[in-house]
Amino acid sequence: MTKTEFNFDRTNPLPLYYQLKEKLLKKIKNEEWKSGQKIPPEAELCELYKLSRITVRKALEELVHNGYLTRFQGKGTFVASASFEQKLSKFYSFSEALLQKGKKESVEMLSFSVENADNAAAKQLSIALNEKIFRIVRLRSVDNTIYVLETSYIPMQLCPSLSKKAIIEKGLYNSMRKLGLNPQRIIEKFRADALHSHEAKQMKLKSGQPVIHLERTTFDGSTIIEYCVSIVRGDFFTYTVELKT
């Protein structure tokens, strides 16, 4: 750390916490602090910069609020993974969006089960009550950071041989295509939400954190082949809609 990093202009109308925030933000943008890296604790930053705990905490809170840092209870404060823009003008997948940015995601399957469709699932899939469905729960991560909790519901009669092994090896849509289903059209609904306790536990985040609640209905022709609910970290993806007159 250079000597100039300790210098703060106390005659500057900008408050000290803001000056510190700018110094720390520069570290993040210059990748001196890299994506996913744990930063020094508050006490160490106070000692390094000769500033009060209140000043340091305020600077960190601003960076967390602006999406540059992420706090994990009991673990510390980390540089947030880069936010990715996703345009909603055509069919897309999270995996492909990340790959285009040079990122490789990992997918963990939490469960793969056959269940009877309840009222909600039957309505979303346009099938009969208690009809057999696949319920698939997965976690998606990039840079060792979980960014989405995804639950898919698929009518079993459309692809009875769909298997956990195939999905893990080839992905869900590729596996469905192998079985004669072709995802052609989707309808998505978005809303802001707060992370519920059971979701927070699965995503290793703090309950109440802002998230995007995304519901996707996928069609092959006029047939619904999947209904999916995704809980997406609010600081991870930016969705862009282009409108033309």
Catalogue all structural domains in the chain, each as residue range(s) with its CATH number: 3-79 (1.10.10.10), 84-240 (3.40.1410.10)
How do residues 101-159 score in pLDDT, each as one tens digit? 666 778 999 999 999 999 999 999 999 999 999 999 999 988 778 889 999 999 999 99
| pLDDT at residue 94, as a whole number | 62
As a whole number, mean pLDDT of residues 27-48 equals 88
Q: Given pLDDT bands bounded at 50, 70 and 90, which one contains residue 78?
A: confident
Q: Tell me what the pLDDT averaged over the chain comes to.
A: 85
The pLDDT of residue 240: 66
Q: What is the pTM of this model?
A: 0.65
What burial letters (b/e) apply to 220-236, b meaning 16+ CB within 10 Å? beeebbbbbebbbbbbb
Is the Cβ–Cβ distance between 229 and 190 less than 8 Å?
A: no
- What average pLDDT does range 159-188 have in this prediction? 94
How many residues comprise the chain?
A: 245
Q: Give the pLDDT confidence score for residue 122 in this predicted structure.
A: 96
